[in-house]
Chain A
């Protein structure tokens, strides 16, 4: 009897330990990609069955509420600026010299033709607070030893997924792959990190692919060419006036 009880306690203790460490792993991996403020130069390649195109951009971000995106390519879109402040999004359109606020009903429109929507830019689901985390085992991704971590959304969280499976590299806390499952356990999309590089003293994947499973021929690839952390940025930078000035 005592033996059973202590075994039970031990099991409970271990699972708590595991859960905490799983959350810790996710936190460290998440922090690695973010700083309190960041500046990035990214090439986003959108591939659809019929066409593909690449959008170049510069991104300034002040976590968690502010971001400003300046489009550098292609020529027709050059100069377009997207500003996110909390849950609102504005666009600056150089060709018509106007700032337009995106109304709620347009938030589902894809952003610059990608698989991301305006809503994705502002949707704040926290990978730490909205899920419970558990280590599912160890694995290898592209030769990197990884923890395989399962994230289960908390019941009241505004998350559509049934579960997320994360592969985080064991020494470096690199988030190398995330699989998104629906509640029936069907894989919906994968987010894959690769091309490990060092930016601003941090070793990170520099290429991310978003691949929807059910839509063959469709994917979005993000390639980071520059990434700096803790740059000096203030809230005042994320203003309507600055949208028109930024280069």
Chain B
């Protein structure tokens, strides 16, 4: 009964209700869009690091990450790799030989991290193969190809197809030298990584090392949600090895992600406050405007609590309608920009130099829609309380007499 009256009231004054719905929808749209921006930014940052080299989970022999000694390899790597592959939730696995080596060109020598990889697995596990700026990631037919960062190539003063001599100490202490040809240059926008990372095929590296040594098994999983589950399963399966997630491997990434969450929370709060005040204002105006109407209702014997209830129900209807419109607009905006990207360099100078990463792709995790919608509806109803109280406190006689 009350709901019916309220519903009718909502549509009796189309303009007033339109404004309210638009304001609520705008608030919700802003909330959804902002969440999308933050999530997109954070997801992109984490995804970039994971895709570059980190992957979701890495397995090492204990002590390898600190000492990085060639002797600290994973025992029985083939069976470990096979066991990880068969694990549920694991997408791809890339076993790597990781050696601290020296790269020499005619004009310079540099210390580098040498990764011996199986090109197929590495291509599936990381994005380096998609970040080539010259040549390819082991797709050509060269003998003994090597793929290095563009930054490193600059430091060494070498170009595509130039020779690079890699040397390192074998586990027995002897030094071995290998001549490689630069088959590809990559640029991942991570300066340190690009400045000291070298990839060769394990097929070319194993004969130099003299044996099969796997120091790192990079594991990519199907979804970040199963991260802890997969890592837990792997570490109980291989108690003698160290199984770490990207959060352990890159703690600074975790901090950045969490600080983004906090900023997002604060911004949502500000949006809600703005919305709250906007709605309170509009409702207050509407109550003032309807003073005579409420006066009449109270005069003919309607209970004040019911009048109050009616106003709240009206607001609830308005905000629910606004929420539907807002979520629709918000998700449409996120979808639109999510595929096209927002070019941040348009808003901030100095970014254009960095190419691809200046684009922001908003993403909203499905759970956020109801969360934001409920927050907005609650805020809207809360903002109707004060105007409702004002309406209820009216003295009927004065109210009716008021020049509306």
Contact = CB atoms under 8 A, between A and B. Distances in A.
Interface of A: 86-88, 104-105, 107-108, 117, 119, 122-123, 125, 153, 155-162, 180-183, 188, 214
A183 B158 CA distance: 10
Given A87-B169, A158-B166, A182-B106, 16 more contacts: A107-B102, A108-B111, A123-B167, A123-B175, A123-B177, A125-B177, A158-B165, A158-B176, A158-B178, A160-B104, A160-B105, A160-B163, A162-B106, A162-B163, A183-B162, A188-B106
Interface in B165-182: 165-169, 173-179
Interface in B128-164: 143-144, 162-164
Contact of A104 (B107, B144, B169, B178): B169
A17 B226 CA distance: 69
A158 B107 contact: no
A125 B175 CA distance: 12
B143 to A, nearest CB: 7
B100 interface: yes
B333 interface: no
A102 B104 CA distance: 19
B281 interface: no
A182 B107 contact: yes
A159 B179 contact: yes
Interface in B89-148: 100, 102, 104-107, 109-111, 143-144
A145 to B, nearest CB: 29
Interface string B179-202: 100000000000000000000000
User: Is the contact region of chain A dominated by helix, strand, or loop, or is it mixed?
Assistant: loop
A159 B106 CA distance: 9
A122 B105 contact: no
Contact of B106 (A117, A122, A155, A160): A160
Given A104-B168, A107-B102, A159-B165, A87 B107 contact: no
Nearest to A125: B177
Contacts of A156: 144, 179
Contacts of A158: 165-167, 176-179
B163 A183 contact: yes
11 contacts: A86-B173, A87-B169, A105-B100, A105-B111, A108-B110, A156-B144, A157-B179, A158-B166, A158-B177, A160-B106, A161-B106
B109 A119 contact: yes
A87 B106 contact: no
Count class of interface residues, chain B: 20 to 34
Nearest to B168: A104
A153 B179 CA distance: 10
A105 B104 CA distance: 14
A122 to B, nearest CB: 6
A108 B105 CA distance: 13
Contact of A86 (B163, B165, B174, B179): B174
A87 B174 contact: yes
A125 B104 CA distance: 13
Contacts of A123: 167, 175, 177
Contacts of B164: 160
Counting chain A CB atoms within 10 Å of each CB, which of B109, B162, B168, B177 scores highest? B177
A87 B111 contact: no
Contacts of A125: 177
B100 A104 contact: yes
Nearest to B175: A87
A183 B157 CA distance: 12
A83 to B, nearest CB: 14
A108 B106 contact: no
A107 B173 CA distance: 13
B111 A160 contact: no
Contacts of A157: 179
B2 to A, nearest CB: 79
A122 B167 CA distance: 12
A73 B136 CA distance: 52
B168 to A, nearest CB: 7
Contacts of A181: 106
B179 A155 contact: yes
A188 B179 contact: no
A45 to B, nearest CB: 23
Nearest to B162: A183
Contacts of B109: 108, 117, 119
A204 B179 CA distance: 33
Interface in B54-107: 100, 102, 104-107
In this complex, the member of B106, B143, B166 whose beta carbon has the largest number of chain A beta carbons within 10 angstroms is B106
A86 B174 CA distance: 7
Contacts of A214: 107
Contact of B175 (A122, A155, A180, A188): A122
A68 B177 CA distance: 23
Closest 6 CB pairs of A and B: A158-B177, A87-B175, A182-B106, A104-B169, A188-B106, A158-B165
A122 B175 CA distance: 9
Contacts of B110: 108
Contacts of A162: 106, 163
A108 to B, nearest CB: 5
A161 B179 CA distance: 11
A87 B109 CA distance: 18
B99 to A, nearest CB: 10
Contacts of B179: 153, 155-159
Nearest to B144: A156
B113 to A, nearest CB: 11
